[in-house]
Chains A and B, each alone.
Chain A
Amino acid sequence: MSDKVLEDTLTADSIGADAALAASGDASAFERLYRTHVNRVHSLVRRMLDADEADDLTQDVFVRAWQKLSTFRGESAFGTWLHRLAVNVVLARRKTLGVERGRFQGGEDPLAGVSARRETPEISMDFEEALANLPDGARQVFVLHDVEGYRHEEIARMLGVVPGTSKSQLHHARMALRRYLDR
């Protein structure tokens, strides 16, 4: 077993043990899970909703995770379970806020107001900024598919659309980001 595989195995074991301990009410174990996963959860929330919602929603995700730990059955990694829960919390929040599924119109340039700083050390920040300025529907699909790795069928179920809509939104998002990166 390579050092990397061994390290990954030990990490997975540790997270699995912490998940089990947290399910029994061990808040210290839950804090360790929080520390391990907060960056990923916060980044997901920030990309799918406005940045000023991210802190509150991230806390909501972890509180919900604590409440729902008894439903974690270990068939997937804890991180995968938590991530799916985070997506559900975000989507529920979107409903509460009444966010409509904006659709990209071909004639618009949704990223017209975003400054381009290509090939700078902040390039990934520019990309995040461009992402945040996508129309809502395209943004959700892009984050879920290209950043988070969900399939169109899963995204369609989550968003209540057909897979064809998910594919179309994804393409519009990519095209918009491509144009931004080209400037």
Chain B
Amino acid sequence: MNDQWTDRLSEYVDGELANGERTALEAHLATCADCRATLGELRSVVARARALDDRAPKADLWAGVAKRIGAGTVVDIRSRRFSFSVPQLIAASIALILLSGGGAWLALKPRQTVAVTPRPDIGFKTLSVSTGRTDAAIADLQDVFERNKSKLDTSTVRVVQQAFTTIDRAIAEARTALEADPGNAYLNLHLADTMRRKLELLRRVNAIATAQS
């Protein structure tokens, strides 16, 4: 049976009828067994749809995906476009910071730091990079981050802290290498650059955390 209310039953199931229509339909349902039965069946269809299980593809499709994205080969991150303006992608910018420029040199191949030959044409006779002010700035920003981190996603905080650990290790290794070779121009510049990267990261994370509040 199909009456004037049958076509409105789906909207009723979904709670999309206006108050007046809903009241009128409910009055009709009280007297129409066919509509009540149809209503029950529609609800069963909706429940069945929501209970559908996702099924795996019959074959593993990863190999085809991997081939097309170049997985298994060296990924040229410079060819990828980045747009990290929200907390979730802070982590991506961290990775970029760590993998770009000289950061990777220490972060990925720390043992090579002592093998660098000083360039005699650059006049670093002693440790020329004074890091006192940068150390203080980093400490201040680190304090701000500790206060702000509750405003960020836990996943973001975790990745940020992992990044800090990696950067701090790179800084420590640079300092150690400089103790053995204080005149090394590359190491001096690299230490300054790595510290600058940490400052940039802290500023960025704190700015976004502040914007979240």
Contact = CB atoms under 8 A, between A and B. Distances in A.
Given A20-B95, A63-B65, A181-B41, A74 B87 contact: yes
Contact of B71 (A14, A30, A55, A73): A30
A71 interface: yes
A58 interface: yes
Given A39-B56, A74-B89, A178 B45 contact: yes
A27 B72 contact: yes
Among A15, A38, A55, A59, chain B packs the most CB atoms within 10 A around the CB of A59
B contact residues, range = 35 or more
A124 interface: yes
A59 B61 CA distance: 7
Interface string A41-73: 011001000000011001100110010011111
A13 B158 CA distance: 8
A136 to B, nearest CB: 17
A112 interface: no
B7 interface: yes
A66 B66 CA distance: 10
Given A17-B159, A55-B59, A167 B10 contact: yes
A75 interface: yes
B49 A142 contact: yes
Contact of A17 (B70, B83, B158): B158
Contact of A20 (B9, B49, B92): B92
Given A62-B65, A63-B69, A17 B155 contact: yes
A25 B80 contact: yes
A168 B202 CA distance: 53
B96 interface: yes
B95 A26 contact: yes
A24 B92 contact: yes
Contacts, number: 170
B86 A74 contact: yes
B91 interface: yes
Given A13-B154, A13-B158, A70-B80, A147 B10 contact: no
Q: Is the interface of A mostly helix, strand, loop or mixed?
A: helix
Given A55-B59, A70-B81, A171 B154 contact: no
A34 B65 contact: yes
Contacts of A147: 49-50, 52
Contact of B44 (A14, A46, A66, A178): A178
A71 B83 contact: yes
A167 B16 contact: yes
Nearest to A149: B50
Contacts of B133: none
Contacts of A26: 75, 95
A9 B57 contact: no
A17 B61 CA distance: 23
A110 interface: no
Given A27-B72, A181-B45, A20 B50 contact: no
Interface of B: 7, 9-11, 16, 38, 41-42, 44-46, 48-59, 61-62, 64-66, 68-72, 75-77, 80-83, 85-92, 94-96, 99, 153-156, 158-159
Given A20-B89, A27-B69, A35-B62, 14 more contacts: A20-B90, A20-B92, A21-B91, A23-B89, A23-B91, A27-B66, A38-B56, A39-B57, A43-B55, A75-B86, A124-B51, A175-B42, A178-B41, A178-B44
